[in-house]
Structure 1
Amino acid sequence: MRKGWQAAGTTGGAMHLLILGGSSDHPGGVEAFCERSRLALLRRSPDWRITRLPTNTAYLAPRGLRRFAAGLTALRRYRHEKPDCVWLQYVNLPDLAYLVAAKALGMRVMVTPHLGANWRSQTNRALRAASEYALSLADRLALISRTQEGEIALHDRPPRSLIRNFLPAEILGAAAPDPAERPAALQLIHSGRLSEGKGSFLVVEVCAKLRDAGVPFHARITGGADRDIYDRLAALIERHGLHGQVEVLGRVPEEELLGHLRGADVLVHLSSIDSYPLIVLEAMACSTLPVCMELAGARDQIETYGGHVVGIATPAEETAAWLAAQDIGELRRRGREAATRVRIDYDWDACAGALEAALRACVERDGRDMVPA
């Protein structure tokens, strides 16, 4: 973390903001982040003019290049009537093509990375150098976690702002769930874009070990995936004889997902790629404690609010052993305590205020590093 970060204040009128990021055919955490931040800014300042443009870089393959190119072409519509600020969500290296294009069109650009140290753009030396160079073109970086300073190759030039993630309004506006209403058996959940990197198959291995240890439990797996991922999950569940104990629900509406989170005791999130996983914060806001693999962002969340971190060598074994050793009543008490703290820290007005300060600093060419007041 660079030294000398200071609190930010902001004044001024409404702006035209262009939000770039996410994929229209692969909705997930980044897409939710974009929409919630839009709504939070409008709730804070209704005069904002906000436009969203997907970059369509998720799982980019040759067949998706036409849509990706169409997005870059669409950016050119704004070359005459430029937005006050372009806010780019950087998830995959191709997202940075939008940064280069926007700067070539004379736009001011703030970039928020949504990746961590284990992403290919950071582990490959050539791609890491390309990422660092492209990010040096940004007018400001808006980081969602202090840990990103140590995870991502960041050029010294762009000033930084520290912003916050956005939780669903439905969570923050409802009373925290009462864990006493849950079934007696341990309730587990895993949610996200299901994949190897997200730890989706490790969840089934954890469940097999809990079953073998005689721990009563029920697990739900939610999230979108390619047909091959669903088939592999079904085969693994069948191989371990876990029918009836592990449900794969696929992609579910947000309201249904929040209901599953409210009914769970533990989120099993053994991802090896997430930088600062939104689903972990969402789960904790629902009184659900997370178990995460050793990554800087996930460790920071757990050390701040609660949960458990496991190593990268034997994550399924460590997770099952930890779960088997827990008193379910104490687990639920700690989950409720975490929910109270997360809900205070991620109040939408506070999050929107930090984001608005970063955006105005970008527009006003303020070269200071800033953290939320």
Structure 2
Amino acid sequence: MSLPRNGGIIPMSLRSVHFVMPGAVDDPSAPSGGNAYDRRLCLDLPGFGWQVHRHPVPGAWPRPDTGARTELARTLRELPDGAAVLLDGLVACGVPDIVVPEAERLRMAVLVHLPLGDETGLDPAVATELDARERAVLRAVPAVVATSDWAARRLVAHHGLAPERVHAAAPGADIAPLAPGTDGVSRLLCVAAVTPRKGQHRLVEALASVADLPWSCALVGSLGQDPGYVARLRDLIRDHGLRDRLELAGPRTGAALDAHFADADLMVLTSYAETYGMVVTEALARGIPVLATDVGGLPEAVGRAPDGGMPGILVPPDDPAAIAAGLRRWFGEADERRRLKAAARGRRAALGGWASTAQGLAAVLRGLSTEPRRAA
């Protein structure tokens, strides 16, 4: 089997890392940025000297049933003493009673895609409990990996972690062909699981208030994570009379997702919380400008073109009127559209690749083999 290349150099020998991840990491019906990130690390880490042993653990993480807990405990217990272990935070951070006792025996790093308590719509008591569990896990392991500089700073401040043990490894982006779009203006695309955290209801409210504009919109993403929210969103779309203009497309991957990107004139993401926002850079990798909420790591993902131009419009969170104003700005100002498109193409050329992400993770893993096994 050929190994991914790093600048044309293939390492002669590989160290081993055991990657513990959600069981649904390869499920095409539940695509997510976290799953895509995990899969890409498995492909690219060998190019930086690390053979990856995958350990997908089925379960309703981060609140697993007894069977899932037992399987995770067995997986960790069977790893050899001193093994380097990378754990997806969705699996690890909710079960400190399983993970923390193994932290003295194994050399662990936890990859935090989203702090557990930041999931929108959680009962406050549940969020508080998950937050405390996550803190216990992250304080017990020698290394923590976040997916943006913003997320790393927040983990340090929120959980009281030593800054030198928290590392940022932003997702990479694969440069894709420039999206031809539909007519350069009217086709809007939102790629996100349909859940309260992604805030599609705010987008629907904003679109209803600009119904006089000639837009159409596709909402691409899983419909199975929160059926109640999806049902309420369908009702909202119906009540505003938008069913002919707003498509709930469901999850799409591969060529089907590429086709949605190819048709898009503007990417729209109205999340309440994001540690980065991979779909933003996936859009920019095709030269598609972005309208997004100014939350978490999204400004990092939007970034700037080399000439300083901003390839998107950032709006305040939880404000459908601000989203609507951003849309009117997009539709009403041709010069602004030209500027945003030029900046998006400039940002496209400057995006970092996944090799940089894997290189950063490889450096963290190398540190595990030399640092004492003590709390972060």
Category of TM-score, reference length = shorter chain: 0.7 to 0.9
Q: Which of 31, 36, 42 is the equivalent residue of 1:38?
A: 42
> Contact 1:37–1:166 at 8 Å: present in 2 too?
no
3-state SS in 2 of match to 1:188? strand
CA–CA separation in structure 1 for the residues paired with 2:253 and 2:152: 34
CA–CA separation in structure 1 for the residues paired with 2:327 and 2:315: 11
CA–CA separation in structure 2 for the residues paired with 1:149 and 1:299: 15
Q: What is the match of residue 163 of structure 1?
A: 169
Please report how far the alpha carbon of residue 219 of structure 1 lies from its aligned counterpart in structure 2 after TM superposition: 0.2
Q: What is the match of residue 110 of structure 2?
A: 111
For residues 1-373 of structure 1, the aligned pairs below 5 Å read: 13-24=13-24, 26-42=30-46, 44-45=47-48, 48-56=50-58, 65-76=65-76, 78-79=78-79, 81=80, 84-91=83-90, 93-94=93-94, 96=96, 99-100=99-100, 102-103=102-103, 106-116=105-115, 118-119=118-119, 127-152=130-155, 153-157=158-162, 159-167=165-173, 171-172=174-175, 174-178=176-180, 181-211=181-211, 214-226=212-224, 227-304=227-304, 306-314=311-319, 316-326=320-330, 327=333, 330-331=336-337, 334-335=340-341, 337-342=343-348, 344-365=350-371
CA–CA separation in structure 2 for the residues paired with 1:231 and 1:123: 23
TM-score by length of 2: 0.79
3-state SS in 1 of match to 2:274? coil
Identity %: 20
CA–CA separation in structure 1 for the residues paired with 2:81 and 2:177: 42
CA–CA separation in structure 1 for the residues paired with 2:38 and 2:204: 31
TM-score by length of 1: 0.79
Please report how far the alpha carbon of residue 137 of structure 1 lies from its aligned counterpart in structure 2 after TM superposition: 1.0
Please report how far the alpha carbon of residue 39 of structure 1 lies from its aligned counterpart in structure 2 after TM superposition: 1.1
Q: What is the match of residue 4 of structure 1?
A: none
CA–CA separation in structure 2 for the residues paired with 1:342 and 1:184: 17
Please report how far the alpha carbon of residue 13 of structure 1 lies from its aligned counterpart in structure 2 after TM superposition: 4.3
For residues 212-240 of structure 1, what are the alpha-carbon distances to aligned partners after superposition, in whole Å with 9 as ceiling and x for unaligned? xx211110011112343433332222111
> Contact 1:262–1:288 at 8 Å: present in 2 too?
no
> Contact 2:315–2:326 at 8 Å: present in 1 too?
no
CA–CA separation in structure 2 for the residues paired with 1:83 and 1:33: 25
Q: What is the match of residue 8 of structure 1?
A: none
> Contact 2:62–2:90 at 8 Å: present in 1 too?
no
For residues 55-113 of structure 1, what are the alpha-carbon distances to aligned partners after superposition, in whole Å with 9 as ceiling and x for unaligned? 4565656xx5145224313414633x357421112137426556325425x11111121
- More deviation, 132-141/305-314: 305-314
